[in-house]
Amino acid sequence: MTLLTHSRLSARFGLTTPIALAPMALASGGALAGACARAGALGLVGGGYGDLAWTQREYTLALQAANTGRIGCGFITWKLDEDASALDWLLDLPAAQRPRAVMLSFGDPRPYAGRIAASGAALICQVQCMAQVPQAIEAGAAVIVAQGAEAGGHGLNALNGRATLTFVPELADWLAVHAPETLLLAAGGIADGRTLAAALVLGADGALVGSRLWATQESLAPQGAKELAVQTGGDGTARSAVFDILRRKSWPLPYDFRAIRNPLHRQWEDRIDALRADPEAARAVYDAAVAAGDFDAAHATVGEAVGLIHDLPGAGDLLGQIVAQARARLTRA
Ligand SMILES: Cc1cc2nc3c(=O)[nH]c(=O)nc-3n(C[C@H](O)[C@H](O)[C@H](O)COP(=O)(O)O)c2cc1C
């Protein structure tokens, strides 16, 4: 019980539930971040690849929808290295509108850390393996997110990725010795009260939830993708470079992407080099499918937690259910 009600995360950000909405590119818009914040969680808008107009619109909507200070924004760090105008816009807002937290993932956070700290925002760094942790500490991260390879979207590939179950306690032990003030969130597979309770028992201060909150009314994910997720079990996702090649995204190694393993993915997953060498015909199929909302070929971005997703509720109700179930589990334990 006390793990839930006295989380350091809740105390640090004024939350009533130790959950942060993952800043999912194009899915965690203002309505979803606002709904999470109203429900007592930290609402991180999905600034993703740093589209300035999208970030301006959705972050402004989040502030309006939340009507609390529990709003932040996340970015893909290697993309900021090309264009940081969306981060600049955010940090230059009047003090009352500035983000409570900025989350950086997939790259070196240190070039941005000084400006984020000067704005008053807490820096959250998402890492995928122990080797990335010292860099996040050097950047002054207030919160580190340990992302297991179960997660939906981008993460470390099969050669390098970690599982949430072992990564979180190993990192909790490391932080206890080297950076005891730094908070820890678990990410990857946290989708109900059982998995939230497990994350807290493993030593996390809370959870960063992506896939489960992607499958809600407020998420900006396409309705057809959400409906496919409800029908898909946990065996039905895969991690590879297929969709990044099809989407013309040049992600640096060793990152790749977990999504539903649909027929177009299966067609190419054993021939990644051939797809990379000559992608245009497959891209035409993919582009047409995206335009038509055909998720046999278009990607639907969820992680292994998809096997725990059976409905598309409102985010506030969902968070209430997750916390109630976690409380019941922890009390019984
Ligand atoms: C649809 C989707 C989009 C995502 N986009 C981003 C992103 O833009 N930036 C980021 O740091 N993480 C992104 N992630 C990863 C999340 O931050 C988080 O690590 C992951 O969702 C946690 O695992 P879960 O999906 O099992 O909850 C995304 C995840 C999903 C499902």
Neighbours of 60 (CB within 10 A): 14
Q: Which of 154, 167, 185 to mutate to test the pocket of ligand 1 (most atoms within 8 A of CB)?
A: 154
CB 130 within 8 A of CB 237: no
pLDDT tens-place string over residues 30-71? 999 999 999 999 999 999 999 999 999 999 999 999 988 899
To test ligand 1's pocket by mutation, which of 24, 256, 304 has the most ligand atoms within 8 angstroms of CB? 24
- For residue 202, how far is its CA from the centre of ligand 1 (angstroms)? 21
Closest residue to atom 29 of ligand 1, CA basis: 153
Compute, in angstroms, the gap from residue 332 CA to the centroid of ligand 1: 31
Work out which ligand 1 atom sits closest to the CA atom of 211: 25
Residue type, 111: P
pLDDT for 259 equals: 98
Which parts of the chain sit beneath pLDDT 50? none
Cα 151 to averaged position of ligand 1 atoms, centre (Å): 7
CA of 144 to the centre of ligand 1 (A): 15
Pairing relationship of beta strands 255-260 and 237-240 according to DSSP bridges: antiparallel
CA of 153 to the centre of ligand 1 (A): 5
Alpha carbons 186 and 163: distance in angstroms, whole number: 11
pTM for this entry: 0.98
Task: Indicate which residue's Cα is closest to atom 4 of ligand 1.
Answer: 24
What pLDDT is recorded for position 67? 84
Domain range annotation of the chain:
2-221+311-332, 223-292
Class of domain 2-221+311-332: alpha beta
Ligand 1: which residues within 6 Å by Cβ? Answer: 22-25, 27, 46, 48, 74, 76, 105, 126, 147, 150-153, 187-190, 208-211, 214, 301-303, 305
147 token code pair: 């992302």
Q: DSSP for 68-108, please give it.
A: SS-EEEEEEHHHHTT--HHHHHHHTS-GGGS-SEEEEESS-
DSSP string spanning 101-139? Answer: EEEEESS--HHHHHHHHHHTPEEEEEESSGGGHHHHHHT
Instruction: Report how far apart, in Å, the C-alpha atoms of 22 and of each of 139, 220, 266 are.
Output: 20, 13, 27
Cα–Cα distance measured from residue 209 to residue 322, given in angstroms and rounded to the nearest whole number? 11
How far is the CA of 110 from the CAs of 38, 198, 252, in angstroms? Answer: 31, 31, 18
> pLDDT at position 1, please?
55
User: Whose C-alpha lies nearest to ligand 1, atom 13?
Assistant: 24
Cα–ligand 1 centroid distance for 6 (angstroms): 26
- With CA atoms as reference, report the closest residue to 33 among 68, 69, 66: 66
Angle at alpha carbon of residue 112, lines to 108 and 114, rounded to 5°: 125
In 3D, which of 244, 145, 242, 216 has the Cα closest to residue 185?
145
CA of 84 to the centre of ligand 1 (A): 20
- Among protein residues, the one with the nearest Cα to ligand 1's atom 17 is 22
Q: How far is the CA of 244 from the centre of ligand 1 (A)?
A: 15
